[in-house]
Structure 1
């Protein structure tokens, strides 16, 4: 049997891109390239024929009626008979993530044409949707994929039950149900139950990362686990060890950590989570749901009080963080302040990318309705150049800098430090600067006179006792026989990276503040501001915040803001 020829992008000598649906060469604008790439995907991956598709289809009558980018019918005959289509595809610009407005636009086209499915697509993400026709507009269901050409009703039904993304309330509810099942079945206290559900969540993230990279088998299903255990009785232990390797650099799990649940409990949780696609769930939904779960777990059960989200958002708006400003929370808790700073600045960067692209477009395009080939090439080149700045894993990009050099936090509670890292991963990234460490002491990039922004809810109501002294293990380096700051061989690369990032002399001075005071009370590090007491934790943290800030902050103004924020939080907690 002869293999079907793949559909590939075609350009002519003038640089125009061929539209197989329009049967003509078109100016290769960035937007047009996105559309033609997806046409190739529909043909090559989903097996649709060009004869059952059409581009730029009016979704309603009228001179200025909107046009759907790509429309797909069940068959060429359905298209010819002008029957309702099967799928509407809305291709969007690549400069930002697809927004809710884009989903609404795709849904509108689908409802107007009576199509049961629609797709929103750019090079960042492709999201698949099912229109619920007996519900009001806005009520859609995100699904794992669209059906392939000639899919049977049974195959479509299986598709609709396949990996789907979470809705916010649904994710939070399922996490809580899994958490309660651990407590009821294994009799763990709330904190221990939280630790165990976190391990399984990251095991699922690991498996999904493998699927994205092309691995054929979904190892996070109850069917796969039961089959794998026939050949490896310790399959779940093996899978968790592989997960630990995946997140080793993030320092989320310790080397000898294990899942301590009964196998029956793990099976139940896998069965509950297996149909959902955590990786494709937007960071906004995933992050908010994870925070709700944290609130239920820690606030209600443990007495751990997190700053209410409205207060956090108010503070972020008041501070108005900007790109390249360095931020810190020395008592980061679940990471709420740092997450909002990261999200706010990421949004500013995305908006600036759009602004730059649109300004460039206006500067070179003479007629927006008749873009020339030369103009299109310039636009594509500019788009590719700007989009690189939105990559989080490429050194030197704007988002890499934000994620790795502008967000810092620490918490003395190891569970909270781990939770903060998890929370930031759920929200998109920026977790690399989070540490399990006493917030009053220097670590990594957290030291004096360095930060543009300090946002924190310091621990209130406790005392720092005289026996709370500085230990040698609180430092990341040590003093050699000559009294010089040095380090062990295994830490050589890490410390040298710190030297490059912060400056060798600056970093060594920050470490000396610990090394020169080993055995002394932590409170002795601070020259306390007026009216602050050396044994009050919140007073030392206020002093620490001022020390961490770059010079120039007025003491009275700082205290007034701290008092205002604390009063607002007290009001929220009393409601």
Structure 2
């Protein structure tokens, strides 16, 4: 069950009949749910209660914060006591459609509120991007970036947040809420999240804008660099690891951005070795730029996001970008799927797309043959035969032609990843 449905069921929130207004029951506060920021606020509040386990009576929303002679309003404060006198976590919520520059302003704002309130931790979120800090006791203005805020009852944070086989970030089923702080309670880690087409599109667009920097970098170069990191992200998801082992494409505590960049380059080196004609240019991003992009992508699972959503999101982003710069147009995914479904493609067919773009037709043809393999072989019991059935088709019978080098590299990368 998702956060909103569980929140309604447990009496944490309620909506009016038309779902135009949300009421936070404990505080009796009614807010306009049509406000994009309020949707983020609601999910963040429910995450604190349902996923992180904080008691509802220790959370206050829309609280006044005295900043010099001015009174500001903080979105959410979590307290370490039942009287709500000791601020523990301060949270700032922003709408999803936010530039990286606007998000950074929100981070500064949240941190200043946290220092004023004496909070120990800070969380700034737009849902698309999250940033967490610890406020040191001796020098509160010296920020310590951390991978997550602590869950209720946890005093010491682990150096990472995302692991294979972790709990869901949004699904409340099978999550045990801690009633009281317990020294024996261990921190829960999170599995990567499958996201919607619209959310993925926003991640692509905002991360590209962050690299482009409004003209500081050529948008074409920014696209290439983003493409490389997307490859690293999917490759890391596919890398064999045991349950409980952390993913590499994420922020670790007490890690310098240079260390993160080295780890990402190590993932990219695998691609350079396996397909040097595609990965002929290394990653040229700075450590800080790499850190920015990792923050956008670290929580999501690109590999398990379905092909339709992934393709539509990627080409919505690519379409808006390439139409402006190169006059390129991409066939809508429903049409691609319809055409491929209509063709009698088998693993023995030879398939050629003479204007392949980012490889949409090729990917759907490959996906069709991969599904046919399921009819003959069990993907687990007959793994080798299943793999050979579709992989031989991909390696020997699937071809594409593309005049634009940049888009051709994207198509090749797409095929390697899939």
Question: How far did residue 151 of structure 1 move?
Answer: 6.9
Report what 2:269 is aligned to: 244
Question: How far did residue 164 of structure 1 move?
Answer: 1.7
Cα distance between partner residues in 1 of 2:181 and 2:288:
31
Report what 1:337 is aligned to: 361
Cα distance between partner residues in 1 of 2:400 and 2:251:
37
Report what 1:71 is aligned to: none
CA contact (8 A) 1:171 1:289 kept: yes
The structure carrying a bigger helix percent of its residues is 1
Report what 2:233 is aligned to: 204
Question: How far did residue 166 of structure 1 move?
Answer: 2.2
SS of aligned partner of 1:422 = helix
Question: How far did residue 324 of structure 1 move?
Answer: 1.2
Deviation readout 1:408-457 (Å, 9 max, x if unpaired) = 2233432122111233355xx3xxxxxxxxxxxxxxxxxxxxxxxxxxxx
SS of aligned partner of 2:401 = strand
Does 1:227 pair with 2:255? yes
Q: 1:349 aligns with which of 373, 389, 393?
A: 373
Cα distance between partner residues in 1 of 2:268 and 2:208:
20
Question: How far did residue 127 of structure 1 move?
Answer: 11
Report what 2:145 is aligned to: none
CA contact (8 A) 1:338 1:409 kept: yes
Give structure 2 stretches of 5+ with no counterpart.
1-163
CA contact (8 A) 2:366 2:390 kept: no
Question: How far did residue 327 of structure 1 move?
Answer: 0.9
Cα distance between partner residues in 2 of 1:403 and 1:126:
30
Question: How far did residue 162 of structure 1 move?
Answer: 5.3
Report what 1:539 is aligned to: none
Report what 1:424 is aligned to: 415
Cα distance between partner residues in 2 of 1:404 and 1:342:
10
Question: How far did residue 253 of structure 1 move?
Answer: 4.5
Aligned residues: 253
Question: How far did residue 313 of structure 1 move?
Answer: 3.4
CA contact (8 A) 1:299 1:306 kept: no
CA contact (8 A) 2:233 2:249 kept: yes
Cα distance between partner residues in 1 of 2:328 and 2:277:
20
Cα distance between partner residues in 1 of 2:379 and 2:331:
39
> Which range is displaced more, 411-420 or 291-300?
291-300
Q: 2:217 aligns with which of 167, 173, 188?
A: 188
Does 1:266 pair with 2:290? yes
Question: How far did residue 177 of structure 1 move?
Answer: 0.8
Q: 1:163 aligns with which of 187, 192, 214?
A: 192
Cα distance between partner residues in 2 of 1:283 and 1:292:
14
Q: 2:203 aligns with which of 170, 174, 177?
A: 174
Does 1:389 pair with 2:406? no
Cα distance between partner residues in 2 of 1:280 and 1:154:
35
1:2-13 mapped onto 2 (5 Å cutoff): none
CA contact (8 A) 2:260 2:291 kept: no
Cα distance between partner residues in 2 of 1:402 and 1:238:
33
SS of aligned partner of 1:178 = helix
Cα distance between partner residues in 2 of 1:210 and 1:180:
29
Cα gap change, 1:316/1:207 in structure 2, threshold over 3 Å: closer, same or farther? closer
1:378-417 mapped onto 2 (5 Å cutoff): 388-391=384-387, 397-417=388-408
CA contact (8 A) 1:164 1:276 kept: yes
Cα gap change, 1:270/1:402 in structure 2, threshold over 3 Å: closer, same or farther? same
Question: How far did residue 178 of structure 1 move?
Answer: 0.3
1:46-445 mapped onto 2 (5 Å cutoff): 141=170, 147=175, 159=188, 163-184=192-213, 187-210=216-239, 212=241, 216-224=245-253, 227-228=255-256, 233=258, 235-237=260-262, 239-251=264-276, 253-255=278-280, 257-350=281-374, 352-353=375-376, 388-391=384-387, 397-425=388-416, 429=418
Question: How far did residue 223 of structure 1 move?
Answer: 3.2
SS of aligned partner of 1:294 = helix
Cα gap change, 1:386/1:240 in structure 2, threshold over 3 Å: closer, same or farther? closer
Cα distance between partner residues in 1 of 2:385 and 2:398:
17
Cα distance between partner residues in 2 of 1:204 and 1:390:
25
The structure carrying a bigger strand percent of its residues is 2
SS of aligned partner of 2:352 = strand
Cα distance between partner residues in 1 of 2:394 and 2:295:
34
Question: How far did residue 402 of structure 1 move?
Answer: 2.3
Cα distance between partner residues in 1 of 2:413 and 2:389:
22
Cα gap change, 1:193/1:329 in structure 2, threshold over 3 Å: closer, same or farther? same
Question: How far did residue 342 of structure 1 move?
Answer: 1.6
Cα distance between partner residues in 1 of 2:166 and 2:291:
29
CA contact (8 A) 1:183 1:190 kept: yes
Question: How far did residue 254 of structure 1 move?
Answer: 4.0
Cα gap change, 1:424/1:411 in structure 2, threshold over 3 Å: closer, same or farther? same
